[in-house]
């Protein structure tokens, strides 16, 4: 099956994380929604895209998904928790719960995509899949798809910057003497090079 590559820019109401269900390479998905498209999880999500996705899901599935802002980052970005359960069978606080979070460290972007895929599966297979239905009827999922929006923004910037953790400054000078990871040639990649030490025997 051919994949449709959709760039990050918007055209009309098009959303770059939605693919047409027929996945035709030359399709023009200008007005896609959850009912007319499938999600593309073969990508990383910017902070803006992430918030757009979860807000859209909350509107599409109000009986199963609610959003709560549990705090803000050092730079003021919202940190969201998704509360997922069948509200008709009881309050989320009255059920056994599962906690999922992702993107704690700045460059752990794949974690966000992973938990979004889990949430999408729960929402779209409820009532059609017995196991999903039973889980959401009797349990609650609390999902924080991105704990570190500031670090993610720096990692996905036009000129990426590497932060192991967050951007909040330490009470001391963070950079020690020596080499530091950065995009030295502007190709948006931060690479490593290993050089063998001739004084150490190589065991294969």
pLDDT tens column, 59-96: 999 999 999 999 999 889 999 999 999 999 999 999 99
pTM listed for this prediction: 0.69
| Contact (Cβ atoms closer than 8 angstroms) between residue 131 and residue 159 | no
At 141 the pLDDT is 98
At 8 the pLDDT is 33
At 200 the pLDDT is 78
At 143 the pLDDT is 98
User: Which residue ranges in the chain fall short of pLDDT 50?
Assistant: 1-13, 20, 22-36
Domain with CATH 3.40.630.10 in the chain: 44-155
Superfamily of domain 44-155: Zn peptidases (3.40.630.10)
At 177 the pLDDT is 66
């Amino acid at each position: 099956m051919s994949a449709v590559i959709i760039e990050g820019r918007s055209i009309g109401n098009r959303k770059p994380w939605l693919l047409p269900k027929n996945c035709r390479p030359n399709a023009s998905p200008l007005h896609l929604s959850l009912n007319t498209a499938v999600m593309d999880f073969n990508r990383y999500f910017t902070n803006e895209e992430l918030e757009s996705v979860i807000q859209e899901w909350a509107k599409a599935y109000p009986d199963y998904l609610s959003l709560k802002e549990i705090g803000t980052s050092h730079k003021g970005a919202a940190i969201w928790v998704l509360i997922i359960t069948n509200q008709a069978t009881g309050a989320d606080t009255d059920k056994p719960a599962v906690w999922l979070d992702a993107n704690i460290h700045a460059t752990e972007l794949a974690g966000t995509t992973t938990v979004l895929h889990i949430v999408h599966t729960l929402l779209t297979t409820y009532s059609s899949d017995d196991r999903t239905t039973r889980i959401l009827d009797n349990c609650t999922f609390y999902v924080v798809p991105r704990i570190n929006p500031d670090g993610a923004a720096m990692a996905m910037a036009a000129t990426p910057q590497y932060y192991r953790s967050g951007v909040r400054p330490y009470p001391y000078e963070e950079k020690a003497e020596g080499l530091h990871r950065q995009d030295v040639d502007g190709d948006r990649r931060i690479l490593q090079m290993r050089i063998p030490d001739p004084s150490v025997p190589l065991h294969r």
